[in-house]
Amino acid sequence: MIARMATNPLPQFPPGFLWGVSTSAHQIEGAAEERDPSVWDAFTAEPGRIKDGSTAEVACDHYHRYPEDVALLAGLGVDAYRFSVSWPRVNSPGGLDFYDRLVDELCAAGVRPVPTLFHWDLPLELDWLSRDTAARFADHAAVVAERLGDRVMKWITLNEPAEHTLLGHALGAHAPGRRLLFDALPVAHHQLLAHGLAVRALRAAGAGDIGIANSHGPTWAASRRAEDVEAADFYDVLLNRLFSDPLLLGRYPEGIGELLPGDVESDLKVIAEPMDWYGVNYYQPTKVGAPEGTEIEFSGLTLPADLPFSVRELEGYPVTDFGWPVVPEALTELLVGLRERYGDRLPPVVITENGCSYEGIDDQERIAFLDGHVRALHRALEQGVDVRGYFVWSLMDNFEWAEGYARRFGLVHVDYDTLERTPKASYAWLRDALRAQARR
Ligand code: IFM
């Protein structure tokens, strides 16, 4: 069933549609001794933080093996590669030289570079609770743009500020490991401010084609009961609209602005600086109901009992090895919903991440996952949503944050003992699918 579904040709995407794959610095680079420390190094060193007790000190050793990885990208036939620039590495002597070499290698291979300026590995001495970090981020953006701007295709300011706020600062499951619950809201605001300041800094440095990679997923109320609908709406604000409303509408969802420090109104003018495109990372929808007064295990997290909502199990769908439900149709719903909510304020959309974790090199489930999601994306296009690109998470297996190396999201298998790369069945599937797109 899986193989048959995946062998049907994909629908034809418009000319110029951008196909790519994504990674992030901390998850693949290794060479930790050749850069400054980040909050993730400190967090990882705390006993019990990483489930398999591993570290990202070596990871996939991409720092030393990048020519091999760029050759894999070229073999895949993607148009673009989304990677992240490690801020602590940029701060270290010679750190930017690495990205210079990587970008040159990509250009020589005909793969367009799409760097993300922040993907969670904050320099250890910085803190998103401090407003000053936003200004420091704009300086970082300017430094990188000066060096790489002549060859970069698209810029991404931040990756998933929602997860970085929630997991890192509200629940303590990610670095820096704080459990502030709703007191983590300034972290969201300072990241959004950092984004807006960085957009301005990039433009001042002559860079264009700027977006952000925001995570989004439909929130489904557990029932039509008013208390479930209200709880789902609250969850939707925290995970989705807390970030997209300020960026795209220039205002916070009702009730949020009052909880934030500083002159929020004037910050919102910076936050809503127009972007050239809007990046969406999609993995799964979430079913949410009224609080049940008990702790909940969700996506490897323990959610406290006293939240004003409860996350429920989404039954009736296949799940990945991570336990995440596979719901491609929710991607269509999400994109159509974004267009309905933001109308003309929504710039062209690029899917900056979509993927799944499965074991094995003959990864037929990943093929079925990608096939289903690419078709769901095409349905959104047919319904008039202006989507311009799709990036698979991830090029290769990597350090999946608090899960360590236990979750494999790659199109390419990495043997963590030998660091040997082996393309999986999904790599061949994507390569052939892209060739078929180009031929038609
Ligand atoms: O690995 C992460 C990535 O760093 C951010 N988006 C989700 C991925 C899978 O969990």
pLDDT band at 22 (very low <50, low <70, confident <90, very high): very high
Cα(262) to centroid of ligand 1, in Å?
A: 31
SS3 track for 224-252: CCHHHHHHHHHHHHHHHHHHHHHHHHCCC
pLDDT band at 3 (very low <50, low <70, confident <90, very high): very low
pLDDT for position 7: 65
Q: Quick check: CB of 160 below 6 Å from ligand 1? A: yes
* Mutation to probe ligand 1, out of 23, 27, 160, 322 (largest number of atoms < 8 A from CB): 160
CB of 400 shorter than 6 A to ligand 1: yes
Structural domain harbouring 204: 18-439
CATH number at residue 62: 3.20.20.80
What percent of the chain has pLDDT above 90? 93
Q: What is the reported pLDDT for 271?
A: 98
pLDDT digits 0-9 by tens, 314-369: 999 999 999 999 999 999 999 999 999 999 999 999 999 999 999 999 999 999 99
Whether 182 maps to a domain, the answer reads yes
Cis peptide before 88 (omega within 30 of 0): no
Q: What is the pLDDT of residues 37-56, one digit of tens each?
A: 999 999 999 999 999 999 99
Q: Tell me, yes or no, whether 172 lies in a domain.
A: yes
What is the reported pTM?
A: 0.97
In a domain, 3, yes or no: no
User: Which ligand 1 atom is the nearest neighbour of the CA of 355?
Assistant: 9
Q: Whose CA is nearest to atom 9 of ligand 1?
A: 400
Q: Output the six-digit token pair for 94.
A: 């010679």
SS3 of 139, please?
helix
So which residues are the catalytic ones?
160, 353
Q: Would 12 be classed as within a structural domain?
A: no
Only one residue has tokens 């980040």, namely: 38
277's CB contacts (< 8 A; 6+ apart) are 154, 209, 210, 211, 347, 348, 349, 350, 388
Phi, psi of 112 (to 5 degrees): -80, 130
Answer for the pair 216, 159: CB distance below 8 angstroms, yes or no: no
Q: With respect to residue 8, please indicate whether it lies within any of the assigned structural domains.
A: no
β 296-298/301-303 pair status: antiparallel
Question: Does ligand 1 come within 6 angstroms of the Cβ of 353?
Answer: yes
The residue whose C-alpha atom lies closest to atom 1 belonging to ligand 1 is 400
**Looking at the predicted structure, is the pLDDT value of residue 6 above 90?**
no
* DSSP category for residue 253: P
Residue 440 has pLDDT above 90, yes or no: no
Letter string b/e over residues 63-102, b meaning 16 or more CB atoms within 10 A of that residue's CB? bebbeebbebbbebbbbbbbbbbbbbbbbeeebbebbeeb
Decide whether any atom of ligand 1 lies within 6 Å of the 83 Cβ.
no
393 lines ligand 1 (CB under 6 A): yes
374-398 pLDDT, tens digit per residue, is 999 999 999 999 999 999 999 999 9
In a domain, 6, yes or no: no
Q: In percent, how much of the chain has pLDDT > 70?
A: 98
- Encode pLDDT of 229-240 as tens digits: 999 999 999 999
Q: Which atom of ligand 1 is nearest to the CA of 398?
A: 1
CA-nearest residue, atom 2 of ligand 1: 400
Q: Look at residue 297 and tell me whether its pLDDT is greater than 90.
A: no
Ligand 1: distance of its center to the CA of 400 in Å?
A: 7
Residue 9 counted as domain residue? no
User: What's the N-to-C CA distance of the chain in angstroms?
Assistant: 26
User: Is residue 396 included in any domain, yes or no?
Assistant: yes
* 8 Å CB contact between 188 and 243: yes
Q: Give the total number of structural domains in the chain.
A: 1
> Backbone phi, then psi, for 167, in 5-degree steps?
-75, -35
At 2 the pLDDT is: 42
User: In the Cβ-directed half-sphere of 272, how many Cα atoms lie within 13 Å?
Assistant: 17
